[in-house]
A and B are shown apart, each in its own frame.
Chain A
Amino acid sequence: MERLQVIEDFSSLQARLTADREPNIPVIVIPAGTCGQASGANDLIRVTKRELLDKGLTDKIHLRVTGCHGFCEAEPSVLIEPQGTFYPKVDAKQMVRIVQAVAADEVLEDLLFADPETGRGFYRYDKIPFFRNQQRSIMRMNQALDPIRIYTCIVSGGYGALQDVLANRSPYQALQEVKDSGLRGRGGAGFPTGLKWDLLAALPDEPAKILVCNADEGDPGAYMDRSILEGNPHSIIEGMLIAAYATGATEGVLYVRNEYPLAIKHLMIALRQCRELGLLGDDILGTGLRFDIELVRGAGAFVCGEETALIRSIEGKMGEPVQRPPFPVEKGINGRPTAINNVETWANIPLIFKLGAEEYAKVGTNGNTGTKIFSLVGKIKNTGLVEVPMGITIEKIVHDIGGGARGNGKIKAVQTGGPSGGCIPADRFDLPVDYDSLAKAGSIMGSGGMIVMDDNTCMVDVAKYFMNFLMDESCGKCFTCRKGTQRMYEILEDISNGKATLQDLDLLEELAHVVKDTTMCGLGQTASNPVLSTLRYFRDEYIEHIENQRCPAGVCKELVTYSINENCTGCGLCVTVCSEGAISGEKKGRHVIDVDKCIKCGSCRTVCNFDAIDVR
């Protein structure tokens, strides 16, 4: 790779790469992010390569391995460009057929994604409701480029915003553009990004300023940052470069959790390629801009996503928060001014300059501009990453994009914002998704996790699960966080075991408010949300547990009993799976469960084909 000396070198490289493109040759796109690889994308890549080589098709069909496109439910999937044909859940045998079909310019109708209502296949991916109802401005880039080849990034517009900023704008103008866009931090708190940069830019150049990308994504069920890091690491580097130009920062740190090996690999490759091309280092593109990025791997603590704990972790100290003020922007890593932004925030920066602040701000609502990526998981048909304009209702995300409840359950609530978030009940699904509305409803936007729950989910159990997570992940410095989460968990445990009283419920609520008030960092201050929001909307479920010793969803083991109803055909399948030997009965006659032996593992219910196991 030749080092680019001046801005014009970049333009000519971009022009050359664009001219070399062969838009008429079909491309087989295989998403192979962590999710894709886990469901078998690597096999598809191997089969495709072999098939292309065997049949001598290398000149006629191209293969592009990309990051995740977002439709996790359909993984491993294959996309054929430029036609846009989408094949979900492909196996190795089907892959051979697909390669042949692409060579013959045909469409395999039996493998297409079928409309759940009509059963007819969709010929183009963007007609599928999951994709059609989204506004994919950031996720779309994931399918356009190969994350380990910087040229594919440049040819699809990567680093174009940087070139434009360096050539045509002063640092002040660049800063103003970000301010005008109204972008708010995507990490959860929603602090205006432009304002943060402004504070940093106003400080003197000595000591040197630092920019940090917070990629310590730790919420259970949230993985949008991982997909951006894996699929388009260049968008983050580009965003940080623009910020370096606008604020005068000279050093960057990517703080990535070590549980994301593929993301780390792709980032390291991207950083190396950028240094070789001269997009990082001294005198970038001949403009005198000096900026380099270091990659720091997180050692596996949820609390290190909190900015003051993250700073201490980067400094090599124990990852625990310190009291603000002073804020990191005044006194951050080793006492130097530090601006920390989330992965998704950085990925939005190039987009602002590509579209222009005015155009960018048209998406979303006033005060909540742009799009937001949510990871939609749980009891829903189409799980995956969905990118929607801010201010869209939960209803639209859950039903139009998510396709509604999975199986025959009925959606009861959505949990937003990860373990520190809260539950929004189904009758409030008309709520617009933005920072302020969610906070008012007792939840938070958080980094964008969205867990859908149906009537088989017990809300006490949900609160207990998240409290257990927070209890484990509390750093232990603040007394009220360490002990408060432990005590809340104990009370929730009592409730789910049927041992609690109504006084305990009051104590739980009182404690939750105090923990929210008295803790030091964001983890503790939001740790009560799972309890408070479920108490606010599902108090009757708590009371049902306490007063009637009954778990309406049939989840809390201590409060349910298993029995066999008249649907039983006596097939004996449950007898074979019961590890305790608790089920007995005549062949072809109705069986019974010995409640003394039953350990309520639920295996019999899972295997029963006749819906004959009752849980009450």
Chain B
Amino acid sequence: MITLTINGLQTSVEKGTTLLEAASSLGFPIPTLCHMEGLSPYGACRLCMVEIGEGPRAKLVSSCTYPAQEGLKVRTASSRVLRARNMVIELLLASCPQSKTIQDIAAAHNIRRQRFRQEYEDCILCGLCVRMCEEQMMAKAIGFRGRGQNRTVGTPFDIKSDVCRLCGGCIYVCPTCQLRCTYTEPEKAICGGCANLAPPCVEKDQFDDMMCYMTPCVACEIEKD
């Protein structure tokens, strides 16, 4: 057993436990996007950053990949962690605002705006689908291609894969494919209304040909701000 302190609380965990698991077992919430039980830790989304160490040696690490160590002091919500987490959420919103998962995380952290050039990407390259396909479906049909800005997920040479059984596992785990809310105009999608129990605002006429699972929605609240 390994003893460590999380937010001042001492806890003992088994060897090999990650900081994320240890913190969750104590009930400290850490947002994640690329982590899923049953899939190997990857550490790509950088949402689950926690602060370890003290003084000038204190640093942020991704809790989903960092193994618990004896005597480690972990802070899951220090000001440094929050600053980083908020900026990561803002970056996510700037790239992929339509994702319901990201909207929910933003709303939960009270992020209502982003200050970068707005993009509308479909993929945040969290790698859940790649790991799902390889580790749970034993197919390895999809993988990463390219580097940096040109990195994408797909089959080799974009040819239909022989090993793909069309199981849909990749779509099931994707935080951006399922549950997309684009509002009536994509720019207004970052409302987070679904996570806020604010007074209802129904703009039915604008939602004629699309279904908002957010009914009622509070987009108009944002406009007033």
A contact residues vs B (CB 8 Å cutoff): 301, 303, 318, 322-323, 325, 471-480, 482-484, 486-487, 490, 503-504, 507, 510-511, 513-514, 517-520
The residue from A322, A474, A513 contacting B148, defined by CB atoms under 8 A apart: A474
| A323→B91 contact, CB < 8 A | no
With A477-B44, A478-B44, A482-B125 given, is the CB distance from A518 to B49 under 8 Å?
yes
Contact partner of B92 among A476, A479, A504, A513, CB < 8 A? A479
Docked-complex contact A476 and B115, CB < 8 angstroms: no
Assess the B149–A517 pair: CB atoms within 8 A. Answer: no
Residue among A303, A318, A475, A514 making CB contact with B88, cutoff 8 Å: A514
Could you say which residues of chain A place their CB within 8 Å of the CB of B43?
A: 322-323, 478, 520
- Asked whether, in the complex, the Cβ of A471 is within 8 Å of the Cβ of B62, the reply is no
Assembly CA distance A303 to B146 (angstroms): 13
CA distance A439 to B46 in the complex (A): 25
Supposing A478-B44, A518-B49, A518-B84 touch, asked if A503 and B115 sit within 8 A by C-beta, the answer is: yes
B207 contacts the other chain (Cβ, under 8 Å)?
no
How far apart sit A513 and B87, CA to CA, in the bound complex (Å)?
A: 10
A518 near B88: Cβ-Cβ < 8 Å: yes
A517 CA / B47 CA spacing, docked (Å): 12
The docked-state distance in angstroms from the alpha carbon of A393 to that of B40 is: 48
When the two chains form their complex, are residues A479 and B44 in contact, meaning their CB atoms are under 8 A apart?
Answer: yes
The reply to whether A517 and B65 contact each other, CB–CB distance below 8 Å, is no
Complex Cα gap A511–B65 (Å): 23
- Residues of B within 8 Å of A510, CB to CB, are 83, 87
Knowing A487-B116, A503-B115, A519-B46, say if A475 contacts B84 (CB, 8 Å): no
**CB < 8 Å: which of B46, B60, B147 contacts A476?**
B147
Option from B44, B84, B91, B144 in Cβ contact (under 8 Å) with A517? B84
B95 within 8 A of A: yes
**Considering residues B59, B88, B126, which has the most beta carbons from chain A within 10 angstroms of its beta carbon?**
B88
| Chain A residues with CB below 8 A from B59, complex form | 517
Q: Any chain A CB within 8 A of the CB of B117?
A: yes
* Chain A residues, CB < 8 A from B67: 325
**Size band of the interface chain B makes with A:** 35 or more
Cα A473 to Cα B61 with chains together (Å): 22
Contacts of B160 in A (CB 8 A): none
CA distance A478 to B46 in the complex (A): 7
Which of chain B's residues 83-125 have a Cβ closer than 8 Å to chain A? 83-84, 87-88, 91-92, 94-95, 115-117, 124-125
CB within 8 A of A490: which of B41, B46, B116, B127?
B116
Check A514/B83 contact, CB under 8 A, given A482-B149, A486-B149.
Answer: yes
A490 and B117 within 8 A (CB):
yes
Q: Mark B57-69, 1 if CB is under 8 A from A, else 0.
A: 0011110011100
A318–B144 CB distance below 8 A: yes
> Given the interface contacts A490-B117, A518-B46, does A479 sit within 8 Å of B149 by beta carbon?
no
A323-B62, A323-B66, A480-B46 known; A475-B148 Cβ under 8 A: yes
Besides the known contacts A474-B147, A483-B95, A486-B149, 14 further A-B residue pairs in the complex with CB atoms under 8 A apart: A301-B147, A322-B43, A323-B65, A473-B148, A474-B149, A479-B45, A480-B91, A482-B151, A487-B117, A514-B88, A517-B49, A517-B59, A517-B84, A520-B43
Selected A-B contacts with CB under 8 Å, 9 pairs = A318-B144, A473-B147, A474-B149, A478-B46, A480-B88, A482-B151, A487-B116, A514-B88, A520-B62
Closest chain A residue to B150 by CB distance?
A: A476
Distance in angstroms between the alpha carbons of A513 and B146 in the assembled complex:
27
A322 to B65, CA, bound (A): 9
CA A320 to CA B142, docked complex, whole Å: 17
Q: Which 6 interchain pairs have the tightest Cβ spacing?
A: A476-B151, A323-B65, A514-B87, A474-B148, A476-B148, A480-B46
Nearest-neighbour CB distance to chain A for B53, whole angstroms, equals 13
Q: Which residues of the other chain, B, contact A476 by a CB distance below 8 angstroms?
A: 125, 144, 146-151
The residue on B at minimum CB distance from A473 is B148
Check B15 for interface membership: any CB of A closer than 8 A. Answer: no
- The chain B residue with its CB closest to the CB of A483 is B91
Q: Kindly list chain A residues whose C-beta atoms are within 8 Å of the C-beta of B66.
A: 323, 325
Smallest CB separation, B47 vs chain A (Å): 8
Q: Which residues of B contact A517 (CB under 8 A)?
A: 49, 59-60, 80, 84
Q: Are the CB atoms of A479 and B148 closer together than 8 Å?
A: no
| B148-A482 in contact (CB<8A) | yes
CA distance A475 to B147 in the complex (A): 5
What is the CA–CA distance of A381 and B214 in the complex, to the nearest angstrom? 66
In whole Å, how far is B143's beta carbon from the nearest beta carbon of chain A?
Answer: 8
> CA A507 – CA B94 in complex, angstroms?
13
- Flag B134-163 by CB within 8 Å of A: 1 or 0 each: 000000000010111111000000000000
Of all chain A residues, which has the CB nearest B65?
A323
Chain B positions within 8 Å of A513 at CB level: 83
Contact A471 B149 (CB under 8 A): yes
Q: How far is the CB of A319 from chain B (nearest CB, A)?
A: 8
Chain B residues with Cβ under 8 A from A478's Cβ?
43-44, 46
